[in-house]
Amino acid sequence: MRVTLTLLLLLVTLQVCAQINLEKPFLNCNIHGSITLYDYQAKQWIFSNSNDSHTATLPASTFKIINTLIALETGVVADENEIVVWPGKTDTVKYAYRPDIYHDMSLKQAFKLSAGWVYVELAKKIGKNRYEEFLTKSNYGNADVSENNPDFWNFGKFAITPTNQIEVLVGVYEETLPFSKRSFKILKEIMKEEETDSYTLRAKTGWTRDGGKDTGWWVGYVEKADNVYFFATRLVKDRNSPNPDFGRCRKDITKSVLRQLKVIQ
């Protein structure tokens, strides 16, 4: 019975993929990568590249999703409006490419602007032991926070797959991860990127430059009246291969596929 059900789900997935073009958006951006989607009501996965969807890499700033929950739950910040004071310098030069973000700001602003230094300062207070505890309980990635740098989500061995990103997002949506209702409420509000009469889109970008590669993410979910659609898009290129549209393409590719699926307009 289980084998029959698995085959049926595979056939349904193949039928959906036959109706949309999952490769064209990547070709339009001249970039390699994959998009993974999950139809909540149908319990159906859609992959542009199943192997890539199950390959783990650094989460980059998409980690700010669960990092926000951990910071709130541990009391390192009281709420999304608490101001984190700019320490006056960075640990390394890796943040120097965005000089406009180096000033005091709230947790909410840091999430929206993807201000890495804010979360690094919070990480120093949270500590690796508490990270390991929450990540293990949340089944988030490999929970390897051994990188000496506190910015372990951008550098080191910490890694998560696109499918696991979605599993975590489902836990956020259902509020089944080990965090309080209050923490989920705050996170969901600051994750909100678009809100229309027909849907609400909550998401987070990410981009790390570790190991000679640019790895870019956009993960999130679209809530509609009758369903929820989860997505995890990841792009990868060599750093010595220029592509000025790399950052923009994370969202362009995702929205192209979501439009084909008639999830958004």
pLDDT per 10-residue tile (average), the chain, 265 residues: 43 51 93 97 97 98 98 98 90 62 96 96 97 98 96 97 98 98 98 97 96 96 98 96 94 97 94
Distance between CA atoms of residues 182 and 206, nearest Å:
25
Q: Which residues are catalytic?
A: 61
Distances (CA, A) of 186 to 68, 77, 83, 84: 9, 12, 15, 17
200: which strand partners? Answer: 195, 223
Distances (CA, A) of 31 to 8, 28, 216, 241: 32, 8, 11, 10
213: which strand partners? Answer: 238
- Three-class secondary structure of residue 62 per DSSP: helix
* pTM for the predicted model, two decimal places: 0.91
Distance between CA atoms of residues 253 and 232, nearest Å:
11
Spatial contact of 121 and 127, defined as CB atoms under 8 Å apart: no
The helix (H) or strand (E) run that includes residue 223 is strand 213-223
Q: What does the block give as tokens for 37?
A: 């989607």
Spatial contact of 200 and 192, defined as CB atoms under 8 Å apart: yes
What is the pLDDT, as a whole number, of residue 161? 98
What is the pLDDT, as a whole number, of residue 19? 65
Spatial contact of 235 and 215, defined as CB atoms under 8 Å apart: yes
Distance between CA atoms of residues 35 and 50, nearest Å:
9
Q: Which domains does the chain have, with CATH numbers?
A: 2-260 (3.40.710.10)
**Torsion, Cα of 233, 238, 240, 245 (10° steps):** -20
Query: Cα 177 from chain centroid?
Result: 16
